[in-house]
Structure 1
Amino acid sequence: MKIINASFFIKEDKREEFLSVVNPLIQATREEEGCVQYNLYESVEEANAFMMVEIWEDQNAIDGHNKSPLLLELFNKIPEFSSKKPIVRVSEMGE
């Protein structure tokens, strides 16, 4: 399995718009084949800092997800939403 942790740093005035784009993405992604977990968390220490924690069965599932129109919409809007560049980390889950 693969784990993706994506950190987003959202401008205060773009918070609601970010959430309006990301919430439908979360709901749809949870139904995708190969998605084990897809959750968004907000930091209690840093305002408007979010982390998407994703667990996927394999790279093929991620490749399919990366073609999702809702994900592509988020990717297109991230520069507008962000106060600094997102950080994405991908790792393998041990057996």
Structure 2
Amino acid sequence: MIHLQVHMHVKPEARQDFAEKAKALITSTQAEAGNISYALYEDVSSPGRFVMIEEWKDEQAIEQHNQTEHLTGFFAYARDVLTEPVNIHRF
């Protein structure tokens, strides 16, 4: 099992739209065979700081997820609203 924490910092004016688009990503991702859990949280003390907490069956599941249209489309959108590069921690 592999756990990921994906940290993202979003422009203030994009917070609501980002969260809505992330919800669609979450719904699609949770339907993937190798996904165990996938959830988004926003830092209550620092609005606009989000973390996606992910749990995957194995590396192959992550690789397949990384090629999906819903993920590539989400990050194509996110490039314009993030204030810094995405920071990924693997466990």
Give TM-score scaled by structure 1 length.
0.89
Can you list the C-alpha shifts for 1:13-67, whole angstroms capped at 9, x where unaligned?
1112212321111011111001111000110111111100000010111111111
Determine helix, strand or coil for the equivalent of 1:80: coil
Structure 1 residue runs of 4 or more that deviate by more than 6 Å after TM superposition? none
User: What are the ranges of 5 or more consecutive residues in structure 1 without an aligned counterpart?
Assistant: none
Number of equivalent positions: 91
Q: What is residue 68 of structure 1 aligned with on the other side? A: 68
Query: Which has the larger strand fraction?
Result: 1
**RMSD of aligned alpha carbons:** 1.0
Determine helix, strand or coil for the equivalent of 2:32: coil
The one-letter code sitting in structure 1 at the alignment partner of 2:23 is N
Give the Å deviation of 1:76. Answer: 1.2
User: What are the ranges of 5 or more consecutive residues in structure 2 without an aligned counterpart?
Assistant: none
Greater mean deviation of Cα atoms: 27-36 or 79-88: 79-88
Superposed, 1:29-68 pairs within 5 Å as 29-68=29-68
Greater mean deviation of Cα atoms: 17-26 or 57-66: 17-26
